[in-house]
Amino acid sequence: MSPVVVTVADLTKRYGDVTALDGVSFSLGENRIYGLLGRNGAGKTTLMQILTAQQFATSGEVAVFGQHPYENESVLSRISFIKESQTYPSNLRVHHVLRAASLVHPRWNEELAQQLVDDFRLPPRRNVRKLSRGMLSALGIIVGLASRAPLTFFDEPYLGLDAVARQIFYDRLLADFTEHPRTIVLSTHLIDEVSDLIEHVLLIDKGRLLLDVEAEALRGQVLTVAGPVAAVDEFARTGAELHRALLGGTARATVRGDFGPADHDRARALGLDLEASSLQDIVVRLTTATNGSAPSTPGVTRKEVLR
């Protein structure tokens, strides 16, 4: 694995009775793109706020570039955290915000910033209060990309952005990442849109880490098989069934397991249609399959019957 940039050990955060993060542990390597996935209220934003010293952990340890980020200039100056809820002083215009960001981020690239302003068609002289939701998101994205921080967090940065602008974001992100590699954490609900970008998946549900796995490995791990119920039953025994839909005498099941080519052959021999589940399907199945039970318990099944 590449050098470690972030280490999180047994991190817990409570707000009164609410446990936002519950014993989370993982690490992030250098120059990779991570997808931080999970439902609303899963604890993604809290996690990123603690890693950037904007919030305080209840217990557990975090290290960013080997040190605790709180009041640590050498760590903070290497981080860029773009969040959907970011507010700006009401007297600032777009170009003021970019100027401010350029003062703060040592690796700021003005050329890239200006190019992105053009790409997103952002009016530089407009007051931030008068920007639409999409324009505000674009402003955040520009700050996040042009800062070229060695550790960059994007927390649902696309709110209000149209499909074209989102594609520009993904394209620019990948292009700039290729030329200037850095560690990027992308927290998003639009999983299908970013599934090609993400190299490593972190899935959080109800404050707990459900998945910490290479995106490529995950894709092979979860399969959707469809065919006669008996054959599906037969195949599903080799893994953990996450979801099943019945239609007459045929079933369609999402199964998680350590599948290899032999398993694929076996499925075909059983007369089953086989396909790798999309990242979005996997996330949906995993986060709904754990309702009311401990996460990642083998054999957790959620059945629904269609008539």
Partner 1 sequence: MNRALTVARLQSVAWPSVVGWSWGILASSFLINLAIFATIRDADLEPTTGGLASIYIVMFIACINVITQDFPFAIGLGMSRRSFYLGSVIHFGAQAIGYAGVLYLLSVLEEATGGWGVGLRFFGLPFFLVENPVLRYLAFAIPFLLLGFIGFAIALVFKRWGVNGMLTLGTVALVLFGGAAVLATWQRWWAAIGDWFADQSGGALLVGWPALLTLPLAVASWLIIRRATP
| Cα–Cα distance, 51 to 70 (Å, whole number) | 9
Q: Which is nearer to partner 1, 40 or 87 (CB)?
A: 87
Q: Which is nearer to partner 1, 12 or 54 (CB)?
A: 54
Compute φ and ψ for 64, nearest 5 degrees: -120, 125
Q: Specify whether the CB–CB gap between 82 and 154 falls below 8 A.
A: yes
| Cα–Cα distance, 25 to 259 (Å, whole number) | 26
Q: Which is nearer to partner 1, 76 or 225 (CB)?
A: 76
Least distance between partner 1 and beta carbon 73 (Å): 5
Of 42, 109, 43, 82, which Cα lies nearest the Cα of 186? 82
Query: Which residues fall within 8 angstroms of residue 188, CB to CB, at 6 or more apart?
Result: 35, 36, 37, 154, 156, 158, 194
Which pairing describes strands 250-256 and 208-214: parallel, antiparallel, or unpaired? unpaired
Least distance between partner 1 and beta carbon 207 (Å): 18
Least distance between partner 1 and beta carbon 75 (Å): 9
The three-state DSSP-derived secondary structure of 174-188 is: HHHHHHCCCEEEEEC
Residue ranges binding partner 1 (CB under 8 A): 49, 52-56, 71-73, 76-77, 79-81, 83, 86-93, 96, 99-101, 103-105, 143, 149
Least distance between partner 1 and beta carbon 103 (Å): 5
Q: Which is nearer to partner 1, 96 or 252 (CB)?
A: 96
Q: Which is nearer to partner 1, 77 or 278 (CB)?
A: 77
Least distance between partner 1 and beta carbon 129 (Å): 11
